[in-house]
Amino acid sequence: MAKIRSTPEDPSRAVGEGLRALGVAPRSARLHYGTTVATNALLERRGARVVLVTTAGFEDVIEIGRQVRPSLYALEPRRPSPLVPRSRRIGVAERVLADGRVERPLRRRTLARVVAAARRCRPEAIAVSLLHSYAASRHERVLARALAGLGVHLTLSHRLVREHREYERTATVVVNAYVGPPMTRHLGTLARAAAGGLQVMQSSGGLVGARTAATEPVRTILSGPAAGVVGAAAAARLARVGRIVTLDMGGTSTDVSLVDGPLAYRTEATIDGLPVRVPALDIHTVGAGGGSLARLDAGGALRVGPESAGAVPGPACYGQGTEPTVTDAHVVLGTLIETEFLGGALRVDRDRAVHAIAPLARRLRRSIVDTAAGIVRVATATMERAVRVITVERGIDPRDFTLVAFGGAGGAHAAELAGELGLPRVYVPRHPGLLSAFGALTAETIRDFTSTLRAVDPSVPVLAGGFRRLERMALATFRKEGLARPRLERGLDVRYAGQGYEVQVGYGTSWRAAFHARHAALFAHADPRRPVEVVALRVRARSGGRPLPGEPPPRRRHRLAPIAVRRVAFGTRARPTPVYRRMELPAGWAARGPLVICEYSATTVVPPRWCVRVDRFGGLVLERA
């Protein structure tokens, strides 16, 4: 195994370095790849210069949005600026009605004007989203042929999002166009290097071919976090751990998800305030990672994140950064062992961590150790709020779940976080810092197909006919891409007639009863007497996938001595604490905290009043003593 520092200026370079570190020739490699290139391009506003082509009169839909207040009590709420300014939105004189009838045809002279206007804008990508194109796509197809001559990345709404709701559909198409060129360049470089084949992780937790990922990069916005959830769920199944909350703490953020049976999906995610109408695993993200910066706000309170030191310069203790981070706080407290990072390959400078935290400590009038402990507590509190969003705020008791911690920093916070939430148990799989990579390695190939229906109490033949059309599309797509025949799953978006929101349920003979039960679970009420409306049909096609590779822990030894005993601060009190290397711990080994367990990709902290044991799969099970 190998873990390589990111190269933000060219992410493909780090991939090549990683393959060479493993002794694999890049040109012979077959890659399953999780990436944050599209995510970072969107969050950092480094995407393409986009032109939006839409029905005349609807140019401002992406700016008007919905009357939703994400910050209910903000006196001066700020919405993200649109990705396409008003000067690059082109209205087309045409109109298709919701039932697919053409009210205003698209004229040839109109096409010429649209192409000329788009050329004047000097676009790097074009997003086309005409009103009701999901019902009749001919106008978009005609526009696509006319605009193809400009030679730029082109996104059509009827291909990407065949659903109603013009704001969400248009916003998704714009995001796809915005991140399209950087993803096309990046994946093109990787695909040329990986002659064995390249598949990319989607937000839905499934793999897709590199060509599709470059054409529809919006589907990869949550690629990395999704791979982590897939890996955590696989590790939990292997260890026969049931209901879990996943905790993926990396360098910039922490991602949490709840897994209670099959992986939970959403039909829409929100990234930096922008709706993305594509299937995604139900993941909640907060800006608290190992590289998150600590600071004082205007009122003098200690804050951590969402700003991050990033891969460059990174935490101060790595030798380049100067500002205090969560990683620096752990180094000061002694919970991260300077000589054990990446098996000793990365040497950590404790003095630089102390110097970075010192100015903050002076402003707080606290000791450096107290300040470091405060930084860790604030980061943990941020993660606690994130877990409450996916549990308590949905009427779910977190005490019924096991916390599965991974990522480079997850094990360092897991026990403290579980204690605050009342979770009885923490599970840290083998190689936690690499679990997202294992998730991408074991994932299935998944494609999602959707069509809008909007029928009240539809008959079985109507539903069956719609599903057959989607399934033919799915089978044809898998054949075209040379993939094995997929397993097909049917789903419905359903609501009570007159409602403005819908619930997704699986399709079967009792889909109405399933809808009433799901509605009651989500909203605490249901009315089986009311007519129901099927808004959309969904087919998920999946094939492949493999189990998480097992790796037996070492054989039991008569006596296992720690590699060191050092003083570690838990809170503000330092205690003599043994340090162990995880690779030396046999199955069945158990101990009481406090102790620290180091490994190549992560560190696990077992605080006082907690105990730990190694299960037969090499996983660490932490429980209250």
Fold of the domain built from segment(s) 224-443: Nucleotidyltransferase; domain 5 (3.30.420)
The structure tokens listed for 12 are 């493909």
**pTM more than 0.95:** no
Region 302-310: mean pLDDT is: 86
CB 240 within 8 A of CB 209: no
27 or 218, higher pLDDT: 218
23: pLDDT strictly greater than 80:
no
**C-alpha neighbours within 13 Å on the C-beta side of residue 260:** 8
| 169-211 confidence digits (pLDDT tens) | 999 999 999 999 999 998 888 887 776 688 899 999 999 888 8
Question: Beta strands of 59-109 (E only): which ranges?
Answer: 89-92, 95-96, 102-104
pLDDT, the chain, mean: 89
CB 412 within 8 A of CB 604: yes
Tell me, what's the pLDDT at 210?
87
Q: In sequence order, what DSSP letters do the residues of 516-548 get, joined into one string?
A: HHHHHHHHS---TTS-EEEEEEEEEEEE---PP
Tell me, what's the pLDDT at 385?
93
Q: In sequence order, what DSSP letters do the residues of 265-289 get, joined into one string?
A: EES-EEETTEEE-S-EE-EEEES--
Give how far the C-alpha of residue 593 lies from the chain's centroid of Cα atoms, to the nearest Å: 33
Domain boundaries defined on the chain: 11-219, 224-443, 445-543, 564-624
CB 443 within 8 A of CB 201: yes
Q: How many CB atoms within 10 Å of residue 272?
A: 13
CB 600 within 8 A of CB 343: yes
28: pLDDT strictly greater than 70:
no
Tell me, what's the pLDDT at 410?
93
Fold of the domain built from segment(s) 445-543: Dna Ligase; domain 1 (3.30.1490)
502 closest CA partner among 464, 537, 546: 537
Identify the residue whose tokens are 């060479």: 20
Residues 516, 518, 521, 526, Cα dihedral to 10°: -20
168: pLDDT strictly greater than 90:
yes
Sign of CA dihedral 56, 61, 67, 73: negative
Tell me, what's the pLDDT at 491?
94
445-543 matches 224-443 in CATH topology: no
Tell me, what's the pLDDT at 550?
66
CB 276 within 8 A of CB 266: no
| 400-428 confidence digits (pLDDT tens) | 999 999 998 999 999 999 999 999 999 99
| 580-617 confidence digits (pLDDT tens) | 999 889 989 999 989 999 998 899 999 999 999 999 88
Region 507-532: mean pLDDT is: 92
Q: What is each CA distance from 208 to 190, 279, 445, 554, 580, in whole angstroms? A: 15, 13, 6, 37, 40
| 525-579 confidence digits (pLDDT tens) | 999 999 999 999 999 999 988 777 666 666 666 568 888 899 999 877 888 999 9
Region 348-371: mean pLDDT is: 93
10: pLDDT strictly greater than 90:
no
Phi, psi of 484 (to 5 degrees): -65, 155
346: pLDDT strictly greater than 80:
no
Phi, psi of 138 (to 5 degrees): -60, -45
